[in-house]
Amino acid sequence: MIKIGLCGLGYWGKNLFRALSGNPAIQLVAVADAKADVLDRLALTHPAIRRYTDAMDLIADPDIDAVCIATPVASHYAQAKAALDNGKHVMVEKPLCTDSAEAEDLNARAKLYGLTLMTDHTYLFHPAVTKLRELVRSGELGHVSYFDSQRINLGLFQPDVNVLWDLAPHDLSIIDYLFNGEPIHIEASGYCHVNAGFPDIAYLTFHYPNAMVAHLNLSWMSPVKVRRIAVGGSDKMAVWDDLDRNEPLKIYDSGITTHPRQDRDIILPNYRIGSVTSPRLPENEPLADIIEHFRRVVLGEEIARSDGRLGARVVRTLERAQVILDQSLKQVRTAMSEIPLSIEAA
């Protein structure tokens, strides 16, 4: 029985609490949260669980084997570092930390101590993502030329990260899991509607060495929630709508064919419109699966699917995208400041 402590009982921490408590092979022995009223309510329903207002006190508890961290992103590195230094296995909510130097340090410590370091990229355990990986790796889609994602909704406005760092880790981890490799070129633009210097809309394009392009549409400003990913190949296209409970994944047997380049003067494609199928997907819960996977990795029974190295790759890409996004935002601000007042008022 693995004894686990949970740092943070906020939005995602509550979900982790439920998943940890529901695993019969895990004993959730302690919880840390800075809000005393949260701990007081916990004492009424789960009096046997030890409660800490400081996560560092939980991490120092010698009775704990592993720690799940679901606190604000700025605290991820310090808490994960302390946990590893205290000989504890660690799973950290995405993103792993705030910069790549921190990520590399955490990975080095985990390797030095022989401990598990995982990032909570829960979507890697979603049945639709598992099926997408099968379609990509088997070659059923043909050569994949694009990955297109819409991840938009109204809020939640995060207090410590912008929309890029909040939403893009989901898609970047999925892309990494499906295709491997990091982008060779990044384009980014966005806008700050609510807080200056804190983008709440972002449009990102990632170019990969295998001639694939990925486009992400991220927003906290949309009145309609959309969670949709399309993966287009030379033979078939797969579309995953995470909000469609009946047929979340559809495979379109459609595409185009062209004559060899030496046999044509202009591009005249032949269009092929085939059938649409929707494979039946298991109804398992991804969060429960990643918790069980974490337990098995700690015991040496499985190899981590979402390890600290994947977490570091995601953070590196976020860093690169943030630099380009900042440049774009600066250019927009400069252009806006040069608009004559009369035109701006009109």
pLDDT in tens, 271-284: 767 899 999 999 99
Q: Burial letters for 124-137: b for 16+ Cβ neighbours within 10 Å, e otherwise?
A: bbbbbbbbbeebbe
Residue 193: in which H helix or E strand, if any? none
The separation between the first and the last C-alpha atoms of the chain, rounded to the nearest angstrom, is 68
Q: Is 244 exposed, middle or buried (0-12, 13-18, 19+ CB in 10 A)?
A: middle
The whole-angstrom separation of Cα 314 and Cα 98 is: 11
How much is the pLDDT for 160? Answer: 81
> How would you classify the pairing of strands 221-233 and 237-241?
antiparallel
Listed by start position, the domains of the chain span: 2-121, 124-287+319-327
Rg of the chain over all Cα atoms, to the nearest angstrom: 22
DSSP-based three-state secondary structure for 47: coil
Backbone phi, then psi, for 182, in 5-degree steps?
-115, 155
Residue 164: in which H helix or E strand, if any? helix 163-179
Q: If you search the block for the tokens 């970047």, which residue do you land on?
A: 172
The whole-angstrom separation of Cα 244 and Cα 253 is: 20
DSSP-based three-state secondary structure for 259: coil
The whole-angstrom separation of Cα 152 and Cα 167 is: 9
**Half-sphere exposure of residue 4: CA atoms within 13 angstroms, side-chain side:** 30
The edge-to-edge listing of strands for the beta sheet with 237-241 is: 185-191, 201-207, 213-219, 144-154, 221-233, 237-241, 249-257, 270-277
DSSP-based three-state secondary structure for 322: helix
Architecture of domain 2-121: 3-Layer(aba) Sandwich (3.40)
The whole-angstrom separation of Cα 145 and Cα 130 is: 19
Query: What are the pLDDT tens digits along the chain (346 aa)?
Result: 999 999 999 999 999 999 999 999 999 999 999 999 999 999 999 999 999 999 999 999 999 999 999 999 999 999 999 999 999 999 999 999 999 999 999 999 999 999 999 999 999 999 999 999 999 999 999 999 999 999 999 977 777 899 999 999 999 999 999 999 899 999 999 999 998 889 999 999 999 998 999 999 999 999 999 999 999 999 999 999 999 999 999 999 987 666 566 665 666 666 767 899 999 999 999 999 999 999 999 999 999 999 999 999 999 999 999 999 999 999 988 888 888 765 555 5
Q: Mark out the alpha helices in 22-126 (DSSP H runs).
A: 36-45, 55-59, 76-85, 100-113
Q: Is 213 exposed, middle or buried (0-12, 13-18, 19+ CB in 10 A)?
A: middle
- pLDDT of 128-138, one tens digit each? 999 999 999 99
CB 103 within 8 A of CB 96: yes
Task: Answer yes or no: CATH 3.60.20.10 is held by domain 124-287+319-327.
Answer: no
How much is the pLDDT for 266? Answer: 61
Q: Which two tokens stand for residue 327?
A: 């440049």
Q: What is the pTM of this model?
A: 0.92
